Structure 1
Amino acid sequence: MVPVPVTRPPRTLSPVDAGTRESALCTIANVGTALETLREVRKHVRGDHKRRLDDVAVILRVVALEAQATYAITDDEARAFIRNCRSR
């Protein structure tokens, strides 16, 4: 029997206005969280399911890169924001 992956309870964050630099940073942070979850799920599936998860991961990375490029967010700024979100 396959063990159930460990999940974290969802965090409640303050609302953010759409179309702002802060919303782009939130998008990048959410993509990072989603990619971590996909990695965990990927360990427990086989074959075509892994390929589909890989396709989803590629799309998520594109979304994060587009948000980063649109608002000229540096990698260091994104990492600092993610660290700050996780420490809340």
Structure 2
Amino acid sequence: MQTNNPSSGKIHLDPDNAEHGLAQLVLTVIELLRQIVERHAIRRVDGGNLTDEQIENLGVALMNLEVKMDELKTIFNLKDEDLNIDLGPLGNLL
């Protein structure tokens, strides 16, 4: 049985705690996508192609997503650093 050390930067798929490992993996992918969307949104705002209403809607959507991610991390007892998985020679994901 593998010890589950969430701060190690690795996904742990312990058979006795598979739900936690799966949640960690899924939330890591969602966090990666959230960061990509946020960077793209910033580029669009900086590009000046959005109306004030679109900027406001984009900001609200990103804030709501961040709140939901915090809720899910709380439910699965995960911290931000738990989502930054180690990709070996490639370094950390986030």
Same fold by TM-score greater than 0.5: yes
Which structure has the highest helix share of the two?
A: 2
Residue number in structure 1 paired with 2:36: 33
Q: Aligned match of 1:85 in 73, 90, 93?
A: 93
Q: Which sections of structure 1, spanning at least 5 residues, go unmatched?
A: 1-17
* CA RMSD, 1 decimal: 2.6
Q: Which sections of structure 2, spanning at least 5 residues, go unmatched?
A: 1-18
CA deviations over 1:16-74 (Å, ceiling 9, x no partner): xx982211221122212211111112222231111111111112212321221122111
Give the Cα–Cα distance (whole angstroms) in 2 for the partners of residues 33 and 64 of structure 1.
15
In the TM superposition, structure 1's runs of 4+ consecutive aligned residues that sit over 3 Å from their partners are none
Give the Cα–Cα distance (whole angstroms) in 1 for the partners of residues 40 and 68 of structure 2.
16
SS in 1 for 2:92: helix
Give the aligned residue type for 2:85.
Answer: F
Deviation at 1:84, TM superposition (A): 2.8
Q: Percent of aligned positions with the same letter in both sequences? A: 9
TM-score, normalising length: structure 1:
0.58
Residue number in structure 1 paired with 2:66: 61
Taking the TM superposition and a 5 Å limit, the aligned residue runs for 1:7-26 are: 20-21=22-23, 22-26=25-29
> Based on CA coordinates, which of the two structures has the bigger radius of gyration?
2
SS in 2 for 1:49: helix
Q: 1:85 to 1:77 in 2, by over 3 A?
A: same
How many aligned residue pairs are there? 68
Residues 68 and 74, structure 1, Cα contact 8 Å, conserved in 2: yes
TM-score, normalising length: structure 2:
0.56
